């Protein structure tokens, strides 16, 4: 009982000067709705690109073979695996990003509906993961883009 | 695994809102990191906007009257599409960071308003893009159908 009393009266780190207002709740509700929509669209697009991943390369190889372009077909056969792996990794990253977005939206909606503090904290944690992974992915894409540009410039200069 | 062991008085601390949800230290930390990443994306979008403006200027200089028209078109469309999300992210990031560091609830309110505006803008943009895709798909299918019918 003494422990409970101490927790009730002291609780130093659990409460801050900021508090939840009606306006915040209204804005979060709207944000969560749009976030849910965007997450679902993102997951559907990721699913479609995952489906097309398995069929695109063999289809291109067959088309080149039928057209009698053996060199191009061979190129698709060898490079296709690498392209598929890279595209697969990008798709999986997209799925992970959208999963965290979905969790943010679902947890926020539930938190607002039932005044659930656990879900409220969980929603912001997932939003943080979403931003972090999206940021790291963006930095990775920029670095890859710059590397490809440098390689192409070196290749062109060599020719 | 999420921690299921909550104290019995969770949400009852002094200063808790009347509606049950509390901005705890964990949420403050999450908001601080989210604001940092939002600022990163805002800066990135502003840089892209600058590059687009530079490209539009180059088109205008190189292309004569037609170039100027094309530059206005490019700068107009990309300018609107890039400026508003960048601005909303920037405002959300600055207001939220200030709110957390100064314990200012009004700034936090305003920060979340900009986050909502960002999501609404991007959401409507996605709806428009998906509608255009559907429209082009329908036009393509109907054109293919009419060609098949003529054979």
**Interval A67-106: pLDDT, tens:** 777 777 777 777 777 878 888 888 999 999 999 999 999 9
Q: Do B41 and A111 touch (CB under 8 A)?
A: no
Interface TM-score (ipTM) > 0.85: no
pLDDT of residue B150: 65
Q: What is the chain B residue with the closest CA to A112?
A: B21
Torsion of CA B26, B31, B36, B42, to 10 degrees: 160
Contact list in B for residue A131 (CB cut-off 8 A) is 33-34, 37-38
Averaged pLDDT for residues A33-52: 93
Contact list in B for residue A31 (CB cut-off 8 A) is 112, 115-116, 119
Q: Each residue of A111-135: pLDDT tens digit?
A: 999 999 999 999 999 999 999 999 9
Q: Do B115 and A27 touch (CB under 8 A)?
A: yes
Angle between helices A22-66 and B105-150 (to 10 degrees): 30
Greatest CA span in chain B, whole angstroms?
79
Please, which residues have CB within 8 angstroms of residue B90's CB and are 6 or more apart in sequence?
A: B38, B39, B42, B46
Domain ranges within chain B, ordered by starting residue: 25-130
pTM over 0.90: no
Contact list in B for residue A109 (CB cut-off 8 A) is none
Q: Do B30 and A128 touch (CB under 8 A)?
A: yes
Q: Which of 7-66 (A) contact B at CB < 8 A?
A: 7-8, 11, 13-25, 27-28, 30-31, 34-35, 37-38, 41
DSSP state of B111: H
Q: Which of 125-144 (A) contact B at CB < 8 A?
A: 125, 127-128, 131-132, 134-135, 138
Query: Which of the residues in chain B have pLDDT under 50?
Result: 1-2, 6, 8-16, 18
Q: Each residue of B32-48: pLDDT tens digit?
A: 999 999 999 999 999 99
Averaged pLDDT for residues A28-37: 97
Q: Is B150 on the interface with A (CB under 8 A)?
A: no
Whole-number Å distance between alpha carbons of A145 and A16? 43
Nearest by Cα to B109 from A130, A51, A18, A143: A18
Note the helical H segments in chain B: 25-102, 105-150
pLDDT of residue B19: 59
Q: Average pLDDT, whole number, for chain B?
A: 86
């Amino acid at each position: 009982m003494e422990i409970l009393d101490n927790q009730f009266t002291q609780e130093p780190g659990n409460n801050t000067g900021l508090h939840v207002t009606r306006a915040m709740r209204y804005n979060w509700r709207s944000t969560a709705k749009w976030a849910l929509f965007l997450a679902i669209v993102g997951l559907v697009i990721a699913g479609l690109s995952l489906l097309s991943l398995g069929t695109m390369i063999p289809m291109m190889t067959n088309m080149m073979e039928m057209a009698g372009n053996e060199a191009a077909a061979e190129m698709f056969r060898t490079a296709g695996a690498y392209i598929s792996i890279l595209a697969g990794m990008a798709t999986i990253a997209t799925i992970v990003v959208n999963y965290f977005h979905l969790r943010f939206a679902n947890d926020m909606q539930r938190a607002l509906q039932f005044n659930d503090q656990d879900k409220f904290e969980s929603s912001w944690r997932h939003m943080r993961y979403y931003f972090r992974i999206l940021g790291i992915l963006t930095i990775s894409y920029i670095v890859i883009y710059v590397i490809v540009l440098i390689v192409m410039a070196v290749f062109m200069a060599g020719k | 695994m999420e921690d299921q062991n909550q104290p019995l008085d969770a949400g009852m601390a002094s200063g808790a809102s009347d509606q049950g949800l509390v901005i705890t230290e964990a949420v403050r930390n999450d908001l601080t990191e989210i604001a940092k990443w939002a600022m990163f994306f805002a800066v990135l979008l502003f840089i892209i906007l600058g590059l687009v403006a530079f490209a539009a200027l180059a088109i205008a200089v190189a292309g004569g009257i037609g170039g100027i028209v094309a530059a206005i078109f490019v700068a107009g469309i990309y300018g609107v599409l890039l400026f508003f999300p960048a601005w909303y992210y920037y405002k959300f990031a600055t207001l939220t960071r200030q709110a957390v560091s100064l314990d200012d609830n009004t700034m936090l309110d305003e920060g979340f308003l900009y986050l909502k505006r960002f999501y609404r803008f991007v959401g409507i943009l996605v709806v428009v893009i998906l509608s255009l895709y559907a429209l082009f798909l329908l036009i393509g299918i109907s054109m293919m159908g009419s060609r098949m019918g003529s054979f």
